[in-house]
Amino acid sequence: MADLIELKVPDIGDFDEVEVIEVLVAVGDTVEENQDIITLESDKAAMEIPSSQAGVITELKISVGDKVKEGSVIALIEAGEGAQAEPAPVEDVKVASPPVPVVEVKSEPELVEIAPYAPDNKAGVKHAHASPSVRQFARELGVTLSLVNGGGDKGRITKQDVQNFVKQKVNAPAAVATAGSAIPPVPVINFEKFGDVESTELSRIKKISGKHLHACWLNIPHVTQFDEADITELEKFRKENKDNAAKQGVNLTPLVFIIKAVVASLKLFPELNASLSEDKENLILKNYYNIGVAVDTPNGLMVPVIKEVDKKGFLELAGELGEISARARDGALTAK
C-alpha cells in the first residue's frame, strides 16, 4: 500500500487567510497531478488550487467556508502505483474518474433535463470544472455551475456554456407560468382609448430579457434615484409670476415646473413613456403625456392624473393641479 501524502495550500501571495468557496473533489476520487481540487476566494480574486500529486483522495481536511493559509492541509492522498491499481474494481471510483460518462451526458438531452432536479448524489456526480473567471461570471448571473454541461476540453465549463444555460432558462418561464407561476400576468390594457399610440417591434435582446425583467420588477425591491438640480433661475421666475398667478386664482407651486420638466424628459426618452404589449413582442410608445400626482388625503394617498400636460401652459396646469388636489381631498374624484 502506498504512503499517504498531505496536500497543502501552496504560496498564495500576500494573504493571511482565504476562504474555501468550493471543494472540487470527494473522498475516493482519483485525481491527476495539477488537477484543481479546491477553489479559494479573497476580497480581490478567486483562485483554484491544484493537486501536487496524482492518486486517490483518502481524506478531506477542509470544507466549504473554512479559512486556510499557506501550509494548511487540504487532504490526504494515496499516491503511487497502488493508488492507480486500486480504483479499477471499485464502482464509485470508476464513475467519478473516467471522462467517458461526461461525454455520454452531453449527447443525451434527456439526462441534461433530469440532472438539475436530481438530489445530487455526491458519489456519482462529477464536480463542475471551470476557471475562476468563469466561476465569477456564473456567480454574477446566479448560475449554479453543477447544473451546466461543460463543452470545453475534458468537460470544462466555458463562458459560452454558462451563457447557453442562461438562454435556456430565460426561454423556459413561458411554459412554467401557465403551470402555476406566482407571477401575475400582464393586464390587458387598450392604450388607444387614452390617446394616440404607435407600436414598434422589440429587438431580439429585449424580447429575451423582457420576461426576466418582468419577474424582477415584481420580486425585487425598487430603487429610487436621487439627484440635484440648480433651480435658482427657475425659482426666481416662479416668484416673479406668483402674484400674477394668484390674481387669477391659481397657486404657482414648484410642482408645476417639475411636472413640465418630467414631460420634457419623456420626450427626450420616449421608451420611459411606454408599456410592453400583452404578447411581449412590441413596445407601446405613448404619444400622450398624462402625469399622476400623489395627493395626501384623509382616506390615504391618492394619485389623480392630469391629462395632456404637454399641451397646457404653466397657469393652466397650476389651476388644474389645485382643482384636482382639492377634489382628491374631498373624495370627489371619479374613476375614468
pLDDT in tens, 181-206: 456 666 778 888 888 888 888 776 66
Strands in the chain per DSSP E: 4-8, 18-23, 30-31, 36-41, 46-50, 55-60, 67-68, 73-79, 197-201, 274-276, 282-286, 291-292, 295-297, 300-302, 305-306
How many angstroms from the chain centroid is the CA of residue 281? 22
List the end-to-end C-alpha distance of the chain, in Å, as a whole number: 86
What is the architecture of the domain spanning 1-98? Beta Barrel (2.40)
Give the Cα separation of 295 and 206 in Å (integer). 35
Helix, strand, or coil (residue 52)? coil
Q: How far is CA 124 from CA 29, 49, 84, in A?
A: 10, 23, 19
Q: Which of 331, 327, 314 is nearest to 255 (CA)?
A: 314
Q: What is the structure's pLDDT at 263? A: 95
Q: What is the structure's pLDDT at 92? A: 43
Pick the CATH number of 107-171 from 3.30.470.20, 4.10.320.10, 3.40.430.10, 3.40.190.10: 4.10.320.10
Q: What is the structure's pLDDT at 205? A: 60
Helix, strand, or coil (residue 43)? coil
Nearby residues of 37 by Cβ (< 8 Å), 6 or more positions away: 7, 23, 24, 25, 31, 49, 50, 51, 57, 74, 75
Question: Following DSSP, what letter does each residue of 170-226 receive, concatenated?
Answer: HHSHHHHHTTT-SSPPPPP--GGGTS-EEEEEPPHHHHHHHHHHHHHHHHS------
Dmax (CA) for the chain in angstroms is 103
Return the residue matching grid coordinates 416668484: 239
Q: What is the structure's pLDDT at 193? A: 82
Q: What is the structure's pLDDT at 234? A: 93
The CATH superfamily of 191-329 is Chloramphenicol acetyltransferase-like domain (3.30.559.10)
**Mean pLDDT, 10 residues at a time, over the chain (336 residues)?**
83 80 89 88 75 92 90 88 44 42 42 38 53 77 83 76 86 51 68 86 71 72 79 94 92 94 93 83 91 83 88 93 89 66
The helix (run of H) or strand (run of E) holding residue 268 is: helix 254-268
Q: What is the structure's pLDDT at 84? A: 45
Q: What is the structure's pLDDT at 158? A: 80
> Against a cut of 0.85, is the pTM above it?
no
Sketch the domain layout of the chain as residue ranges: 1-98, 107-171, 191-329
pLDDT single digits (tens) 78-125:
986 544 444 444 444 343 444 444 444 444 444 333 334 333 444 434
